[in-house]
Structure 1
């Protein structure tokens, strides 16, 4: 995005509005210019055309902007204001202005329907709309996403976003938080800077800040990119003692690996408060540094990775006065704090970041509920939690291990299999994979399900894989269990098609097996075969899957 021309345009618009005594919705016009620049190759005001408004208001806005249909008149009014500004400043001629006005008149009745059409939503809008814009703690005065000032001073009846209930979260084990905090780069560097300053007999400025020459040497010798920020944190946490401008290590100063657990957690809670409430200039990207609170709050509420494109759109929404440039470098820099982690899936909180943010919210008097432990519930609750909570693999593993540890193998098998009798493949598959962890003690329970048509093939496999007496699988049962296990993978395939294609290439069923799958009386057989037909790299196998899917559809299997 060409930030400079948009800034100049907005400055000119403000001046024009004052001179003409015209009320200008600056935030709305800025969004129009930002999106025109980003997606429609508008590099200056004179590049606007009638078609630009049609694409902006009927295509870009419905895809990108989280706004209710009833907000359309505000956007249409802002577009009309922009046309008058373009005309009066000589950026367009009168005939072009007339065509623009006519286009906007045609758009006006269509835009509310476009904003309400969920098929038009882009990735970011779908993501944030799924949790509801009113659940986000958004800064600034813009109404585009239901924003409001955080803090919620109006009491429990207030419906501003800052008062929206926080979701229940599942915290990592305390020892995991402690272990991770001992390795946070920002905290380690704060200790290094204090040691360097104290041992070298350095002094600060009268404002208790680093001297320029010391900051330069710290950057060069210790390799710390933002020494002034790290020093501010050290002072905030009480790691250093200042006698006038003379620096000494605080009483009891010790490296992170020598600190007691409780002391370490207190330091980490203080670090979160410094980062979130102090508007720390950490990454050098203004929209990220100024949006620390909003970004962390978003990640806390979503509890899942946010792709960079979606995060960029979100920041444009909540901070229209700050230009949004490429974010990859800034987000990578943000991981230095230890509060977030950055992967190919996007940005999300670290487990200790989640813990620290909840501590901050609790300290602010907000209700930050904990999700119930899945291990405390029955098998249905465990399976539902694993499916709906979207837990990371390590967290899901902890829940499963904890749940199993509270039950004898035979009790665990009985609960799990009883909970999924007659259930969909995804639910049944999770239970079967957990039962697969159990030893021979569960054999009698598993054997009792040989009379269940859907669980029988899984029970046979379980028994035979442990060398226990079991009937042989019939050819029909081999086909059925093949389809059933592939049906279990359907949600994962939708979420990560490339990963599924890679796995299926290495371990997919052979063509001769696929050819007969259409005969299987399984509710997901058509969907499974269509998935194989679209993802199998082996052309013969993919063709066999497509033919089998056609036969299954012809039989009326759904």
Structure 2
């Protein structure tokens, strides 16, 4: 799958392999491939490439429960047979045409067919991934009518006439699925609502720096939508997506230009947007796209992968996760551990004067939030720690603990800098951050006269941010002066 090899994506939440394997076996196209593999026998005949001979397609369709005379049933049988061959569910011996005589090859159930019922969940998923590769390759091919029209005098495909580049088409579909994956995992890490097809098409066509798409670009979006409409119809039977196609009545009512403009308006206004198509990756689809990304060298973490790692690896990793995914990873890490020892390990891992320290401490605080009285001894043990003492006091005070020593001024200022630095690292300059700054500075007279002296590596950086964002103009000016002093002191 085409992707930036060093890209890092948000973590995905996946069901267990056993649940995913059940989904794979229930995918209509894969299930049909299994049935045809069991149907294959001594009388099964294939052509060059392992395709069923035309005369056997009605019988194959009947084996799948379709009317033997139904053309659509024959098409579905042909697709399922191709998947069965490509995944090893069927072993074929192609015909030997060296003697010039027309003969047929044979097909029998493959050794891998036994994995469907007797294999481990991971082995079933490997078969499904092979089937997915076949379906993705088919989805990248244009319609057969276009191929016939593009045949030259020698019977070869004239790609220039067809305007079809196999690698380009495969990369386009990979990019679409990567964008759909990212849209899915960006916030929740698991399938939520469907994505409008215009949004997905626009993500592939409209440049990020284009504020108002031109008519030509909108027409490209419309073309991409219709191409995706056809491709997702092919991808749904393998269990990759849940798909609501573009409303055929809508296509009949509008021309391409109106469709493009209407889809853009619908995506923006959320009015009748479902008529333009909706798509959603299934949990199995997330698994499949992630597997392809990992193969391409993309860092695509999954929630739960850190359960057997140390607290230092946990906090370093979840520092880059969205809050919801970080909480889910932390909860899995805590499961099965003795809480007092786990809390002590987390607190030790949260220390550090490096750039990532503030966010590690924020995630540590997040991890400790649901902890009960069992955690109190480990938290009290760091009350005198210059980096963790403020965090410990907050945790104990929130639970109404007795005998919590009051922090001295130095600790208050250090904790203020650390908190703002963590928020900047986690979410950037959000709309809520100025309110946090105002709240933290309102209760300390002469705050900016003292805070620039704080021995924290992020002091100047935080003060510069306060100079830009503090809602009180006078305080913002004082923050800028304090930032200059802090920079001079560091120099």
TM-score (norm 2): 0.49
- RCO higher in structure (CA 8 A, sep ≥6): 2
